[in-house]
Amino acid sequence: MQFLENNHIKEIVSSMITNNKKASSFLIHGSAGLGKRTATKYIASAYLCESQTGTPCGKCNTCRKVYEDIHPDVKTLVPNANGNYTADSLRDFVSDAYIKPNEGDRKFYIIPNLDLSVQTCETLQNILLKIFEEPPQTAVFILTTTGLDNMLPTIISRATCLEVLPLSLETTLEYLKEKHNFTGEEAMKTAIFSGGNLSHISADPESEFAVIQKIANNLLNSIYSNNEYNLLKSLMEINNQAKFKMVLAQLEYMVEISIKSYFGIENRLKATQAFSEQLGLNKLLLLNKKLKKHRRLADSNRQLGLALCDLAADIIE
C-alpha cells in the first residue's frame, strides 16, 4: 500500500511517535477519492509497526495485517444499508475501547465518511465527545470526512486535524506511466483533468471520469472554436446534477491552467497553450469568473435544464 506525497501528514505522525507524544484522536479530511482511507492505514501501521521508527516499514507482520485489514486491534465501523451509522452501533463500537489491545500497545477505531451519515452526524459526534475528552490510554480514534463544515467545534478542537491533499502533476504523471502506460499528450491531459485525484483516473474509456473528461474537453474545444452547436450538443450529454458539478470543476481547472499557461507558469500542454493564445487573458479571466459563479449556483440544486441553459447563455454571449 502506497500513501503518495502528503508529507505533512507523514512528518506529523513521525514526530508523534519518535517523541512519544501520540495523539489519541485524528480527524482526516479531504475530497472523496484522495486517499483518506489510505491515510488511516498509514497512521495505524506507523503507530503499531514493529520498527517504531515513525514510518511504517510495510514489511513486518504487523504492517501487513494492517494493510490487509486483518489486524485484531484495528477496527472499522460499518454503516447500515442506507449508508448511516446508528447511535447504538457507535456506542457498541466505542465500548470496546476500554478493553486492552490484543497484540500491540494501541487499538484503533476508524469511522469512515462520518459526514455522509447525514441523519445522525451530530448525534454521533456528541456520543464521541465524552470519549474524546477522556480517552482510554490504549485507544486511538480516526474519523474521516470530506470537509469540516459538519463537524462540531468541540470535536475539531480535541482531534488532530489532517487534510489529505491532491497529488502534484509530476506524481500523477508518474502514476499514469506506471499503472496505465499513458505517455505524452494523453498522459498530460489526463493528469491535468484528474486534479491530482487518482480515483478520477481510469484506462477504461467508458469510466465515469473518462466520460466527464470527454465532455469537458469537447466544451473547451467548442469555446475555442466558437462553435455554438457543438457546445450545446456537449451540454446535452450532462444528464444529472453530479455530472454537471464534475464537468464544471474540470472546466474551471482547465481554464486556470490556461491562465497559468498565458503567463508561462504552466505550458506543458499544447491544448492549454492554444486556448490561452486564442482567447486572451481578459476572456480567460471572465470565463473563469463565470464558471466559479455556476459552480456556486450548482450547489443550490437548481433544476438541471435551467442550469445548463444559463451556462450556455453565459458562455456563448
State the total domains in the chain.
2
The verdict on 44 and 121 lying in the same domain is yes
Angle between helices 184-194 and 270-298 (to 10 degrees): 20
Give the DSSP H/E element, type plus range, for residue 162: strand 160-163
261-263-185 Cα angle (round to 5): 15
pLDDT at 271: 58
In a domain, 59, yes or no: yes
Say how far apart CA 240 and CA 223 lie, in whole Å: 22
Expressed in percent and rounded to 5, the helix, strand and coil fractions of the chain are: 55, 10, 35
In a domain, 72, yes or no: yes
The three cell numbers of residue 224 are 475555442
In a domain, 36, yes or no: yes
Query: Mind listing the pLDDT tens digit for each residue in 241-261?
Result: 888 988 888 888 778 777 877
Instruction: Please report where in the chains the cell 491515510 appears, as a residue.
Output: 39
Say how far apart CA 261 and CA 96 lie, in whole Å: 55
The verdict on 142 and 11 lying in the same domain is yes
The verdict on 28 and 143 lying in the same domain is yes
Give CA separation, 196 vs 3, 11, 185, 199, in Å: 13, 21, 17, 9
Give every CB contact of residue 212 below 8 A, 6+ residues apart in sequence: 193, 200, 243, 246, 247, 250
The verdict on 210 and 135 lying in the same domain is no
In a domain, 136, yes or no: yes
The verdict on 246 and 148 lying in the same domain is no
Query: Mind listing the pLDDT tens digit for each residue in 268-294?
Result: 556 566 667 777 888 888 888 998 888
In a domain, 168, yes or no: no
CB-neighbour burial class of residue 74 (10 A; exposed 0-12, middle 13-18, buried 19+): buried
Query: Mind listing the pLDDT tens digit for each residue in 70-89?
Result: 999 999 999 988 888 999 99
pLDDT at 153: 96
In a domain, 192, yes or no: no
The three cell numbers of residue 196 are 491530482
* Beta-ladder partners of 163: 29
pLDDT at 317: 67
Say how far apart CA 266 and CA 272 lie, in whole Å: 9
| CATH number, domain containing residue 106 | 3.40.50.300
Instruction: Please report where in the chains the cell 450548482 appears, as a residue.
Output: 298
| Domain termination site, one of 131, 163, 195 | 163
| CATH number, domain containing residue 273 | 1.20.272
The three cell numbers of residue 204 are 477504461
Say how far apart CA 234 and CA 224 lie, in whole Å: 14
The verdict on 105 and 218 lying in the same domain is no
In a domain, 2, yes or no: no
Phi/psi-derived region of residue 60, left when phi > 0, alpha when psi is between -120 and 50, beta in every other case? beta
The three cell numbers of residue 61 are 507482520
The verdict on 70 and 122 lying in the same domain is yes
Say how far apart CA 142 and CA 152 lie, in whole Å: 15
Ranges in the chain, pLDDT < 70: 1, 205, 264-275, 299-301, 317
The residue segments making up the domain with residue 295 are 204-316
Share of the chain above pLDDT 70, in %: 94
Give the DSSP H/E element, type plus range, for residue 142: strand 139-145
Say how far apart CA 56 and CA 71 lie, in whole Å: 14
